[in-house]
C-alpha cells in the first residue's frame, strides 16, 4: 500500500532504517517482509518491537520532584507549608524530595503514543493486542496530552540513547494528533509533507554516509562569504544545508524537497519555486569562496504525480552547475538506491 504521492509504505520503513541506525538491528528485520496497509500500522509494529526490547533492558528511571506532608523529615523542609500544617492542627512536616521513578517524560511519551495508536482503526487487531500486553509494565506511568510534551528538553545519555528512535516515531504520531469533539477519542491527520520532508532529508543524507563514505556526507552550515572586518550586521540568517558531498574535485550541495507540487505556476507558465532556487544558488555562491566554479547545487524533489518532472541543469558563468532532479519513491528500493547512486556520477 501507499501513502501521499503514491509512496510505498514499505519504502517509508526503508527510509526510516537509514534515518535511524537502530532499525537495522536483528529484531526489526522481519518488519521489511510484512505488508502494511496503513502508515500507523507500521509505526505500531516498530514501537511494539522497540518497546519490547527496551523492557528487557529496563525502563528509564529519573528523579522527579515530590511534595508531601510527612511525620519525619525527608529531603528539604518547606517552612511555609509546615507552618500552614501546624496552623491547621496537622502535626506534619511539609517536605520536598526527589523520587527515582519510571513515571517520567521518557516513558510517558511512549505510553501516550501507544494509547493513541490503540484508538486507531488503521492499526490491526493483532498489533493492538501486542501493544496492550507491552503496556502492562507501564502501569505506574501516566499518559499525558501531546501539547504538554516539551520535546526540546529531552536529553539522551548512554543509558537512555535507545529511546531516541522510539521518541522520533512517537513524535510522528503525536504531532499529527487531533482531539475530536467526542471526549477521549482521537483522530489523526495524514502523514504530513513536513514529516516526510524531514524523513526524506535524513534518508538521503544517511544513504550517502552509509554507501559512499568517501564522499564525507554532512549537513554543513555554510558561512557567509563576506568581509567580516568591514561588516557590522548580526542579523544574517543561518545557511544550513541538507546534504553536502565531496565528489572528486567538486563539492555538491543537495537541498531535498518534498512538496505536493514540484513546480509553481505563474501566468500559466510552470516555474521552479523561486525561494528554492534563490536558496540553493546562495548556498553555492557562498561556499565557492574563490569563485572557482567547483561547487555545485542540486534541488532533489520527491517525485509527484505531475506530468512535468525536473531533470535539467543550468551552469553559471563561473562554471557552477545547478541541477534539478526527482527521486521516484514509488518503486522497488533497489531502483531507488540505483537512482541515488546515479545522481553523484556526474562528478566522478
The CATH code of the domain that includes 231 is 3.40.1350.10
pLDDT score of 23 more than 80:
no
Q: What cell was used for 316?
A: 553559471
Together in a domain, 161 and 216: no
Alpha-carbon distance of 249 to 53, in angstroms, equals: 45
Measuring CA to CA, which residue among 319, 256, 329, 254 is closest to residue 288? 319
The model's pTM: 0.73
Q: What is the pLDDT of residue 186?
A: 39
Question: Which is more confidently placed, 56 or 16?
Answer: 56
What tens digit of pLDDT does each residue of 290-321 get? 999 999 999 999 886 666 677 889 999 999 99
Please answer whether residues 125 and 139 qualify as being in contact, where contact means their C-beta atoms are separated by less than 8 angstroms.
no
Q: Which domain holds residue 83?
A: 62-101
What tens digit of pLDDT does each residue of 39-52 get? 888 899 999 999 99
Together in a domain, 238 and 332: yes
Please answer whether residues 271 and 244 qualify as being in contact, where contact means their C-beta atoms are separated by less than 8 angstroms.
no
Q: Which of 126, 159, 189 is the last residue of a domain?
A: 189
Q: What are phi and psi of 25, to 5 degrees?
A: -70, 165
Together in a domain, 146 and 271: no
* Number of domains composing the chain: 3
The most confident of the ranges 26-40, 196-210, 242-256 is 242-256
pLDDT score of 283 more than 90:
yes
Per-residue burial over 218-253, b = 16 or more CB atoms within 10 Å of its CB, e = otherwise: eebebeeeeeeeeeeeeeeeebebbbbbebeebbbb
Together in a domain, 183 and 315: no
Together in a domain, 169 and 291: no
Which residue in this structure is represented by grid cell 555562491?
A: 285
Three-class secondary structure of residue 95 per DSSP: strand
Together in a domain, 38 and 143: yes
Together in a domain, 97 and 111: no
Q: Phi/psi zone of residue 252: left (φ > 0), alpha (ψ -120 to 50 degrees), beta?
A: beta
Alpha-carbon distance of 53 to 48, in angstroms, equals: 9
The band of 197, judged by pLDDT with boundaries at 50, 70 and 90, is: confident
pLDDT score of 6 more than 60:
no
Together in a domain, 239 and 311: yes
Amino acid at each position: 500500500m501507499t501513502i501521499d504521492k503514491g509512496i510505498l509504505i514499505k519504502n517509508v520503513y526503508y527510509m526510516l532504517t537509514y534515518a535511524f541506525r537502530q532499525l537495522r538491528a536483528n529484531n526489526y528485520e522481519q518488519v521489511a517482509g510484512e505488508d502494511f496497509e496503513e502508515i500507523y500500522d507500521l509505526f505500531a509494529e516498530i514501537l511494539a518491537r522497540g518497546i519490547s526490547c527496551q523492557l528487557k533492558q529496563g525502563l528509564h528511571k529519573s528523579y522527579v520532584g515530590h511534595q508531601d506532608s510527612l511525620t519525619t523529615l525527608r529531603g528539604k523542609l518547606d517552612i511555609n507549608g509546615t507552618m500552614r500544617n501546624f496552623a491547621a492542627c496537622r502535626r506534619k512536616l511539609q517536605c520536598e524530595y526527589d523520587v527515582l521513578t519510571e513515571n517520567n517524560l521518557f516513558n510517558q511519551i511512549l505510553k501516550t503514543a501507544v494509547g493513541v495508536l490503540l484508538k486507531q482503526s488503521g492499526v490491526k487487531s493483532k498489533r493492538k493486542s501486542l501493544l496492550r500486553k507491552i503496556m502492562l509494565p507501564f502501569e505506574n506511568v501516566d499518559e499525558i496530552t501531546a501539547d504538554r510534551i516539551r520535546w526540546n528538553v529531552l536529553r539522551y545519555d548512554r543509558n537512555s540513547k535507545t529511546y531516541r528512535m522510539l521518541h522520533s516515531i512517537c513524535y510522528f504520531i503525536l504531532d499529527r494528533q487531533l482531539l475530536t469533539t467526542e471526549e477521549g477519542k482521537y483522530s489523526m491527520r495524514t502523514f504530513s509533507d513536513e514529516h516526510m520532508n524531514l524523513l526524506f532529508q535524513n534518508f538521503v543524507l544517511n544513504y550517502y554516509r552509509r554507501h559512499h563514505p568517501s564522499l564525507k556526507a554532512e549537513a554543513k552550515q555554510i558561512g557567509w562569504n563576506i568581509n567580516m572586518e568591514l561588516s557590522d550586521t548580526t542579523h544574517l540568517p543561518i545557511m544550513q544545508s541538507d546534504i553536502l558531498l565531496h565528489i572528486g574535485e567538486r563539492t555538491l550541495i543537495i537541498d531535498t524537497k518534498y512538496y505536493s507540487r514540484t513546480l509553481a505556476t505563474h501566468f500559466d507558465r510552470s516555474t521552479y519555486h523561486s525561494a528554492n532556487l534563490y536558496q540553493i544558488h546562495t548556498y553555492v555562491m557562498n561556499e565557492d569562496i574563490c569563485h572557482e566554479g567547483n561547487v555545485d547545487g542540486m534541488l532533489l524533489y520527491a517525485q509527484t504525480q505531475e506530468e512535468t518532472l525536473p531533470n535539467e541543469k543550468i551552469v553559471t558563468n563561473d562554471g557552477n552547475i545547478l541541477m534539478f532532479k526527482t527521486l521516484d519513491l514509488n518503486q522497488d528500493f533497489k531502483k531507488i538506491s540505483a537512482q541515488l547512486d546515479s545522481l553523484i556520477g556526474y562528478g566522478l
